[in-house]
Amino acid sequence: MKQLVTPAIILSRTDYGEADRILTLLTPEHGKLTLLAKGVRRIKSKLAGGIELFSVSEITFIKGRGEVGTLVSTRLIKHYGHIVGRLERTMLGYELIKQLHKATEDEPEAAYFTLAEQAFEALDDASVDSDLIKLWFAMQLLRLGGHTPNLQSDMAGNRLDVAAVYDFSFDNATFSSNPRGRFTANHIKFLRLGFEGYPPGALMCIQGCRQLVQDTAALVSTMTATYIRR
Amino acid sequence: MANILLLEPDNALANVYVKALEQAGHNIACCVAAEEALSVLDDFMPHVVVMELQLTGHNGIEFLHELRSYPDSQNIPVIVNTNLAPAALRPLLEVLDRDLGVRACLYKPRTTLQRLMRIIAEQARG
């Protein structure tokens, strides 16, 4: 049978029999793969090093006749080791992988693989705020799922005004002008950059970033709860 | 009598816990690192795990995720006994409880040996 080679990120690991494990991996070209990794139970296998979480590995696999293929070999390409240097970051890393696993269909596009890589990159960088990473990640899941809010025009179809203040309507995913609204041009600009896919490290450079994260977190989290499979 | 897996990187403290647990009639497997504790699980299935979160190499959160990924260790009661300050531990508590099945989280500097032994005994009894 033909062996295929691809970069891959581990999404989940479960047991299979005495010594084997079933891995679910995210790849750029083959979507999600479910592979049997023989003899990797716990830490004794030579394969084990290449199937670390928070890593990108090059894997060689054989597609099975059924749903489960076989993992032949792995080679670690990049391990984001600083993620596990802080407990809170490790916890967030597991949470993001879980969200990604649940949010993606069987054949996710390559952009989800890039998202996982960017998330690891951000988690690995201690200078990037955890709340920002969480928010940014949710924005990307919404964007990739086709649920970007309307950040260009208001409910009446007018272009969003720099001097105006807005409220957000979840029914239409659109802002509406309201003198007592909670969102200013700065919030909308921040959301635009976030939903355009700027990485967390770049968003950190925006003046007042922490406050903007706090102010927009509820909006993004409500949209995520509505549109993203959890 | 129960099998207790103790994951404690501080050797002096580990010796104190091992003595106390042995006096209480338990069987102990004592490890200093997550990798070692995972390999011990193949031969020593514990009734209770007592562990520090701050470890060298793989940390305690990684150990717990790995532990819970095996069907035979999914329901083992875990007691976290850690030096991590309560303020740092607080944001982790929900996930430790909800997703990782941690039954008790103790702040080591404020936990007496008697209290730890009592909680282990409670968890060992089921």
**Confidence band of A108 (pLDDT split at 50, 70, 90):** confident
Report pLDDT for A111: 94
Q: Does A5 touch chain B (CB under 8 A)?
A: no
With beta carbons under 8 A apart, name residues in chain B contacting A14.
69
pLDDT of residue A47: 43
What is B3-125's CATH topology? Rossmann fold (3.40.50)
Model pLDDT, residue B96:
95
Residues A173-200 have pLDDT tens digits of 999 999 999 999 999 999 999 999 999 9
Average pLDDT, chain B: 94
Please give the residue of chain B at the shortest CA–CA distance from A84: B59
pLDDT of A113 above 70: yes
Q: What average pLDDT does this structure show over A85-113? A: 90
Domains of chain A by residue range: 3-81, 127-227
Q: How confident is the model at residue A226 (pLDDT cuts 50, 70, 90)?
A: very high
Average pLDDT value for residue range A45-55: 63
Tell me what the mean pLDDT of segment A34-51 comes to. 63
Mean pLDDT within B12-35: 96
Of A14, A42, A94, the CB nearest to B38: A42
Query: How would you write chain A as a 3-class SS string?
Result: CCEEEEEEEEEEEEEECCCEEEEEEEECCCEEEEEEECCCCCCCCCCHHHHCCCEEEEEEEECCCCCEEEEEEEEEEEECHHHHHCHHHHHHHHHHHHHHHHHCCCCCCHHHHHHHHHHHHHHHCCCCCHHHHHHHHHHHHHHHCCCCCEEEEECCCCECCCCCCEEEECCCCEEEECCCCCECHHHHHHHHHHHCCCCHHHHCCCCCHHHHHHHHHHHHHHHHHHHCCC
Tell me the mean pLDDT in the region B44-55. Answer: 96
Range A63-80 average pLDDT: 88
pLDDT score, position A87: 94
C-beta atoms of B71 and A95 within 8 A: no
Cβ B92–A42 below 8 Å, yes or no? no
Which CATH number does A3-81 carry? 2.40.50.140
For residue A46, the model assigns a pLDDT of 40
Sketch the domain layout of chain B as residue ranges: 3-125
B64: chain A residues, CB-CB within 8 Å:
none
A42 interfacial to chain B (CB closer than 8 Å): yes
For A:69-108, CB contacts with B below 8 A are: 84-85, 87-88, 90-91, 94-95
Q: For residue A193, what pLDDT is reported?
A: 97
